[in-house]
Structure 1
Amino acid sequence: MLIDHFIEKRLFTHNFQPIYHLNSHQCLGFEALMRPFDFPNPELAFEAAKRAGRLYDLDTASIELVMRSFRDSRLSDGDAVLFINVLPSTLINPNFSTFIYHTLHTNQLRADQIVLEISESEQMDQLLDSFHMIHDLVDYGFQFALDDVGKGYSNFDVIIEFPFKYIKLDRLFSTQLHLSSKKKALVQLFRDYCRDQQIQLVLEGLETRQEYLFAMQLGVEVAQGYFLGRPKAIEEVRAFL
């Protein structure tokens, strides 16, 4: 099958998009974004893996390659953290803890350098039944981010109960943010909640100077998007820094 060959031969790479502190313009870290060779986009690759019963295999293969690239690039020598997308079903798989610990040590990385960014392409209620596994990872030093809030399957019980270090607002909030009082009010709501709960709010999808300046005016501290930096191959990221 195409997907078996795709997974076993690792027919994909990753681009890395910077995430910045807006006030200081210091780089917080990078989000790794899969770029498949044999599929038009990552979503189609994951759909094929799901149909073949190999979703966990593809997700962990991607994670392993991302961590190896981060190590080989020497970006891990600095203070930057690496945001890695992971599916809820992968996270609660009984084999995942062993896999992630082994991959971390093989690549000589620290757990506090890794942010496991939960993808919302699946229902997330199952996470609430697996808190013992999640807290073991948090105790070990891993951090968690909730991705694409406002777009996918996230609900408030997951946001409230799960130990997120980062909440990432979907780009729908940032697109023409300066022209929408409703978007402004919602960004302020999440800003205040995150400040109260000591969670770092990240606004995704900043693409224009107007959006960037207005996000700063609203007190958004961390963001990513084309205006701040496009996804690049790891070699280009290293050269750019």
Structure 2
Amino acid sequence: MLTNFIRNELFSHSFQPIIDIQRWKKIGFEGLLRTSHFNNVEDVFKLAIQEKQLYELDSQSIYKAAVTYHSAGFSSKDCYLFLNVFPSTLTNANFLPFVRKISAEYAFLNHQIVFEISESEVIKDFLSFKKQIIQLRSEGFLFAIDDVGKGNSNFKCVIELEPNFIKLDQYFSNSLHKNLKKQDFIKSMIHYTDKHEIKLILEGIETEMDLAMAKYIGITYGQGNIIGSPKSLKVV
């Protein structure tokens, strides 16, 4: 069943905008896998792990999202495509030739794609993983640490991997307007990321009041349904 699902690409992607909330300018989208063949998208990845086909699913999803993005006309290097990827996919021996193929087929995509390192899988060999990140970055690809503040995402990755982006988990945006501790923590992250030239994105902004507070305390980049919900891309 899963082999057929992957081979025949029985899935699509929705794309959620990421916005510079200070200037209200779109900087890119996060591609999110969608399918009607499973009740829950997470079930697809759980099955892929069980059947040892996670790399096949992950890489095919990345390829289809990239093709969809490019076909919609987003060919500017200033409009990023954020794609979730498992650490084991990044370190797979086939991954580097695979992404080289994408960058050869589609101009600029290697400078547009931001691989979001998924927090749902433990990095087993951190040194090898870091070497692979360095190699991929040398070829133009960008990286984000996803869901910082949740699960396996930790500050070792933030410090050691030198990401281009840090995405703060939606926990920090929830009721941000009335939580001084969250405000103070985010301010400290803004100080760190500004100093080290990292772009900080606050995820999961859902209300006007939390959006206003995020802008007030200095967040530049935001993502959430109040800003824009995941949708199919329209040709630009």
User: What TM-score comes out, normalization by structure 1 length?
Assistant: 0.93
User: 5+ unaligned residues in a row in structure 1: which ranges?
Assistant: none
Aligned to 1:157: 156
After superposition, the C-alpha distances for 1:136-191 in whole angstroms (9 at most, x for unaligned) are 11111111001111112012221110020000001110011011112112211211
Contact 2:144–2:166 (8 Å) recurs in 1: yes
Higher helix share: 1
Q: Which moves more between the two structures, 27-36 or 78-87?
A: 78-87
Q: Which amino acid aligns with 1:151?
A: K
Contact 2:102 2:109 in 1 (8 A): no
Shift of 1:111: 1.5
C-alpha contact 1:177 1:184 (8 A) present in aligned 2: yes
Contact 1:118 1:145 (C-alpha < 8 Å) held by counterparts? yes
CA contact 1:92–1:127 (8 Å) conserved in 2: no
C-alpha contact 2:17 2:230 (8 A) present in aligned 1: yes
3-state DSSP class of the match of 1:233? coil
Deviation at 1:77, TM superposition (A): 4.3
The alignment covers a number of residue pairs equal to 236
1:128 Cα deviation after fit: 3.4
Offset from partner CA, 1:76-115 (integer Å, 9 cap, x none): 2473111111110000111110001102222334321111
| Corresponding position of 1:85 | 84
Q: Contact 2:77 / 2:111 at 8 angstroms: preserved in 1?
A: no
User: What is the match of residue 9 of structure 1?
Assistant: 8
Question: What pairs with 1:113-192 in structure 2 (closer than 5 Å)?
Answer: 113-192=112-191
- Secondary structure of the residue aligned to 2:78 is coil
Residues 1:231 and 2:221 are matched in the alignment: no
Give 1:205's aligned residue.
204
For the Cα contact (< 8 Å) 1:16–1:234, is it kept in 2? yes
Structure-2 residue corresponding to 1:48: 47
Is the Cα–Cα contact under 8 Å of residues 125 and 158 in structure 1 kept in the other structure? Answer: no
